[in-house]
């Protein structure tokens, strides 16, 4: 079994999403000691954002030499994703949505003919056999019954993205209210870590 572990927080060891994603991976490692883990830190090795040249090359246009490293990075992250049976993602909320580093990674894995295709009935996801578990952290509270719900574009966005490529039941472990105050942060982190420890292994 292969596991791909992605982190996207810029806060290093102070990150809640990193702590929770690490706990999820530890839980899965304990359940399956032979699991093969590939780790990618999107802040330590950031991907460039898409450019016109990149999109043109994807459509078959000749690629300028300077684009070579970027195309190689695209192929590497796509192959990591395709090879994984389980994907664990640490995703903090920045200004109501995902970090731009994580968006750059998503832009490299949503590839027509690889993770989705268009047919007579519209788009069809091709990555449905994977398990995706996302550790999310949010500074406030964005429950469906709260006035702030309309500003939640982290979990809602990721559910849509993974559903589009066929992963219709991604799992989320949330730490909410971490910027409300120290007590809220401690309680949210403890609850998320407990959920990670109790995660179903298979």
137 annotated ligand-binding residue? yes
- Per residue in 74-95, pLDDT (tens digit) is 999 999 999 999 999 999 999 9
93 annotated ligand-binding residue? yes
139 annotated ligand-binding residue? yes
- Per residue in 101-147, pLDDT (tens digit) is 999 999 999 999 999 999 998 999 999 999 999 999 999 999 888 89
Higher-pLDDT residue of 67, 152? 152
When mean pLDDT is compared across 10-19, 49-58, 71-80, the lowest value belongs to: 49-58
Q: Which CATH superfamily is domain 2-59+68-198 in?
A: Flavodoxin domain (3.40.50.360)
pTM: 0.95
86 annotated ligand-binding residue? no
Instruction: Work out the mean pLDDT of the chain and round it to a whole number.
Output: 95
User: What average pLDDT does the segment 183-200 reach?
Assistant: 96
Q: How far apart are CA 193 and CA 177, in angstroms?
A: 15
95 annotated ligand-binding residue? yes
- Per residue in 162-187, pLDDT (tens digit) is 999 999 999 999 999 999 999 999 99
Burial state string for 114-134 with b = 16 or more CB within 10 A and e = fewer than 16: ebbeeeeeeeeebbeebbbbb
1 annotated ligand-binding residue? no
Radius of gyration of the chain (CA): 17
Q: What pLDDT was estimated at residue 202?
A: 66
Distances (CA, A) of 100 to 21, 33, 69, 119: 18, 33, 20, 30
140 annotated ligand-binding residue? yes
Domain range annotation of the chain = 2-59+68-198
Which residue do the tokens 């403890």 mark?
190
Distances (CA, A) of 200 to 26, 31, 59, 129, 133: 12, 9, 41, 17, 11
16 annotated ligand-binding residue? yes
8 annotated ligand-binding residue? no
| pLDDT exceeds 90 at position 148 | yes
94 annotated ligand-binding residue? yes
17 annotated ligand-binding residue? yes
The backbone torsions φ and ψ at residue 132, rounded to the nearest 5 degrees and listed phi first, read -120, 125
In this prediction, residue 54 has a pLDDT band, given cuts at 50, 70 and 90, of confident
Q: Where are the alpha helices (DSSP H) in 47-181?
A: 52-58, 68-83, 100-109, 155-164
User: What average pLDDT does the segment 23-34 reach?
Assistant: 96
The widest CA-to-CA distance across the chain, in whole angstroms, is 55
């Amino acid at each position: 079994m292969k596991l791909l572990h992605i982190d996207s927080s810029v806060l290093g060891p102070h990150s809640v999403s990193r702590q929770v994603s690490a706990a999820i991976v530890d839980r899965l490692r304990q359940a399956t000691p032979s699991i093969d883990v590939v780790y990618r830190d999107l802040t330590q090795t950031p991907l460039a954002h898409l450019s016109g040249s990149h999109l043109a090359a994807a459509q078959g246009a000749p690629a300028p030499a300077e684009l070579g490293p970027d195309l190689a990075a695209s192929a590497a992250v796509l192959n990591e994703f395709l090879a994984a049976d389980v994907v664990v993602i640490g995703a903090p909320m920045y200004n109501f949505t995902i970090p731009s580093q994580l968006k750059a990674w998503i832009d490299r894995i949503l590839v027509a003919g690889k993770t989705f295709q268009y047919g007579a009935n519209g788009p069809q996801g091709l990555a449905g056999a994977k398990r995706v578990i996302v550790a999310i952290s949010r500074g406030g509270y964005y429950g469906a019954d709260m006035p702030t719900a309309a500003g939640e574009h982290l979990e809602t966005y990721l559910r849509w993205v993974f559903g589009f490529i066929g992963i219709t039941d991604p799992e989320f472990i949330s730490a909410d209210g971490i910027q409300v105050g120290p007590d809220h942060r401690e309680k949210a982190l403890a609850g998320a870590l407990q959920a990670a420890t109790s995660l179903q292994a298979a």
